[in-house]
């Protein structure tokens, strides 16, 4: 049963386009009818105000890959980046398996630690300014909730807010192999404006250790967020 007529949907689309022309001029408001299918599926361009504080929301969900998360927090701790950390219950369990005292280390490296159940936290509001948000590792459960606009926890609510405010949201999805539902969720969040950036080892850097591989991936994530980092060699740079 349809609750909205096509006319109502057209009105909402027109209002959204007018809002973006006024408040987000860097976002294209070309009519979808004039675009090809591939053009319609281009992600929204993130908009971050020039006066926004250099804050980053960091989320850890229960997927494997905690060494990436700890290295990320370590790098940000050494820079002038204010970090707001959310760790899910599943992430605490994964930290215990993959690291020694990883949960305590993560909390010590963050400037602010938020309970995943604290929906009233500042980062749950669009009025809280931030450079963006990174979830790494990102489980496919977390991916699915974000793709479907489910903000039942602070992690997914903050991600939803990041998208609606047109700020960069980077998802370090860690799962393999992927079924069709996973891939469709990746498409959905990409169309919303997120950047799906799974941890992928690069061998052109001639990495000698696991730390080298981790550094390269962390650098790639920070690049996507516009945060300077010099952790690994860059190709012909």
What CA–CA distance (Å, rounded) separates 108 from 39? 44
Does some domain include residue 60? yes
Question: Which helix (H) or strand (E) covers residue 70, if one does?
Answer: helix 66-77
Does some domain include residue 126? yes
Taking Cα atoms as reference points, which of 103, 133, 123, 105 lies closest to residue 222?
A: 133
Extract the annotated binding site.
62-64, 88, 139-142, 174, 204, 220
pLDDT at 21: 53
Q: Is the pLDDT of residue 2 over 60?
A: no
Judge whether 82 and 54 are in contact, CB under 8 Å: yes
pLDDT at 206: 85
Does some domain include residue 209? yes
Given pLDDT bands bounded at 50, 70 and 90, which one contains residue 231? confident
Extract the annotated binding site for FMN.
62-64, 88, 139-142, 174
Extract the annotated binding site for dimethylallyl phosphate.
204, 220
Q: What is the DSSP letter of 175?
A: -
Given pLDDT bands bounded at 50, 70 and 90, which one contains residue 162? very high
CATH of residue 70's domain is 3.40.50.1950
pLDDT at 16: 55
Q: Quick: pLDDT tens for 33-83.
A: 444 434 433 443 444 555 555 899 999 999 999 999 999 999 999 888 999
Tokens describing residue 65: 């890959």
What CA–CA distance (Å, rounded) separates 215 from 151? 31
Does some domain include residue 106? yes
Given pLDDT bands bounded at 50, 70 and 90, which one contains residue 4? very low
Does some domain include residue 199? yes
Does some domain include residue 87? yes
Q: Which residue has the higher pLDDT, 111 or 29?
A: 111
What CA–CA distance (Å, rounded) separates 147 from 107? 28
Please state the domain count of the chain: 1
Q: Is the pLDDT of residue 113 over 60?
A: yes
Q: How many residues does the chain have?
A: 237
Domain span at 91: 55-225
What CA–CA distance (Å, rounded) separates 219 from 227? 9
Does some domain include residue 232? no
Does some domain include residue 1? no
């Amino acid at each position: 049963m349809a609750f909205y007529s096509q006319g109502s949907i057209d009105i909402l689309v027109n209002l959204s386009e007018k809002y973006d022309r006024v408040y987000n001029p860097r976002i294209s408001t070309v009519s979808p009818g004039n675009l090809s299918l591939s053009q319609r599926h281009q992600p929204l361009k993130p908009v971050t105000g020039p006066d926004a504080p250099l804050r980053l929301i960091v989320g850890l969900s229960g997927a494997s890959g905690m060494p990436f998360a700890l290295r990320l927090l370590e790098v940000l701790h050494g820079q002038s980046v204010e970090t707001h950390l959310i760790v899910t219950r599943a992430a605490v369990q994964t930290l215990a398996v993959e690291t020694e005292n990883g949960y305590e280390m993560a909390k010590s490296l963050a400037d602010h630690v938020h309970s995943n159940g604290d929906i009233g936290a500042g980062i749950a509001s669009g009025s809280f300014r931030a450079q963006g948000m990174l979830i790494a590792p990102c489980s496919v459960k977390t991916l699915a909730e974000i793709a479907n606009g489910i903000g039942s926890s602070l992690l997914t609510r903050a991600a939803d807010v990041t998208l609606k405010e047109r700020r960069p949201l980077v998802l370090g999805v860690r799962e393999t192999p992927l079924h069709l539902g996973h891939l469709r969720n990746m498409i959905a969040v990409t169309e919303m404006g997120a950047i799906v950036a799974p941890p992928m080892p690069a061998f052109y850097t001639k990495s000698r250790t696991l730390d080298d591989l981790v550094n390269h991936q962390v650098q790639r994530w920070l690049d996507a967020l516009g945060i300077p980092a010099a952790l690994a060699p860059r190709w012909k740079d």
